[in-house]
Amino acid sequence: MRADRLVAALLLMQARGRVTAAELARELEVSTATARRDLEALSTAGIPVYPQPGRGGGWSLVGGARTDLTGLSAAEARSLFLLVGPTAASPEAKAALRKLLGALPRTFRADAEAAATATLVDPTPWGDRDRARPAVVDLLQTAVVRRRKVRMTYADHAGTRTERLVDPWGLVDKDDVWYLIAGTPKGRRTFRVDRIAAADPTDEPAERPDDFALAEAWRQVVGDVEDRRSRTWATVHIEPRFVPILRDHFGRHCHVEDPAVARVRVGAPTALDIARQLAGWGRMVDVLDPPAVRAELARIGAELAGKYAEEGAAKAPSSVD
């Protein structure tokens, strides 16, 4: 796991004072390119890790070799836990974080602990991707950690902009698309961060339920979204060799009911959505139910046949006696 490697890289630099990407790669049993990316991630996050070019160079933790983290500033400690915390899935990584937290000065611990749980990583995409990390993410992370309300301009799916004052509770990185879970006068809401046109932190303290857990809240959000994305289900029959392709098209909304005969259940918001996905398969897929999907396929087929039959007739050369 990446969290394990980041923690290990930091501890290795503390022990040795300086390491090269190649040395780190050998220690962690990863490629040199992966080791270099991890070192760059630590540096970019604001942790005092810097490269030293030239003969005898490498990467070092500013201040020389140390056996604890008391040399980190409050901002650096917060950056470390924001970077490592969300991906710390293994027991070893979590144990290392607890030890690192214990090594921090007491005045830094509250912010560092909050930072470790301020962001959640969900690698499963919902179709579209925005690879550019929104600039407002850092501002929102700080607001979550410090528990400060944020005033923001938000555009909904139709592009309508409204002004919101929210209590930021946590951020989720879903395959590079970011979401903010926040409290509002109407209860908990989820906002796509790339739709936040402007955001300004305030000095007002944010309220957050004592029992709030980001991972559990996100599970509920995902469940609600997936329910909406799979309101209609169809049973289809397809050759076994095509099942992996069908699964790639429908993702988690594709369930193989009977592998022996390749009977598969696929889901989407409407019968038309399913028909659109299956229309390109032609006779290779047989929709067993429901009738609504079969009817949509028939309509699409007739529409295409009529359109291209008319065009073909219009382009056909006329006969000459």
pLDDT tier for residue 131 given thresholds of 50, 70 and 90? low
Give the chain's length: 321
From 125-129, 215-219, 254-258, the region with the lowest mean pLDDT: 125-129
Q: What's the CATH class of domain 2-105?
A: mainly alpha
What does the pLDDT look like over 50-66, one tens digit per residue?
Answer: 777 766 678 877 654 34
Whether residue 307 is predicted with pLDDT greater than 70 in this model: the reply is yes
What is the DSSP track for 257-274?
A: EETTTTEEEEEESSHHHH
Torsion of CA 142, 146, 151, 157, to 10 degrees: 50
Q: Kindly report the CATH number that applies to the domain delimited by 136-212.
A: 2.30.30.520
Whether residue 81 is predicted with pLDDT greater than 60 in this model: the reply is no
What does the pLDDT look like over 174-201, one tens digit per residue?
Answer: 877 889 999 999 999 999 999 999 999 9
What pTM does this model have?
Answer: 0.50
**Domain residue spans in the chain?**
2-105, 136-212, 230-313
Q: Kindly report the CATH number that applies to the domain delimited by 230-313.
A: 3.30.70
For 80, 230, 258, the CA distances from 100, given in Å and listed in that order, are 10, 43, 50
Terminal-to-terminal C-alpha distance of the chain: 78
